[in-house]
Amino acid sequence: MQHVPTTSSSKADPSADHPLRVFLVEDSAVIRERLTESISALPHVEVVGHAATESEAISALEQVPSDAVVLDLQLRAGHGLNVLKALRETSSRPRLTVIVLTNFTSPQYRGRSMEIGADYFFDKSRDYDRVCDVLEDLARRRAQN
> What pLDDT shows up at residue 3?
46
**Total number of residues shown for the chain:** 145
pTM for the model stands at 0.86
Q: Answer with the residue of higher pLDDT: 122 or 4.
A: 122
> What pLDDT shows up at residue 144?
85
Q: What is the per-residue pLDDT across 36-74, written as a single tens digit (0 to 9) for each?
A: 999 999 999 999 999 999 999 999 999 999 999 999 999
Can you give the residue ranges of every domain in the chain?
Answer: 21-144
CATH, domain 21-144, list 3.40.50.2300, 3.20.20.70, 1.10.10.60, 1.10.1760.20: 3.40.50.2300
Q: Which ranges in the chain belong to alpha helices (H)?
A: 9-12, 29-40, 54-63, 80-89, 107-116, 124-144
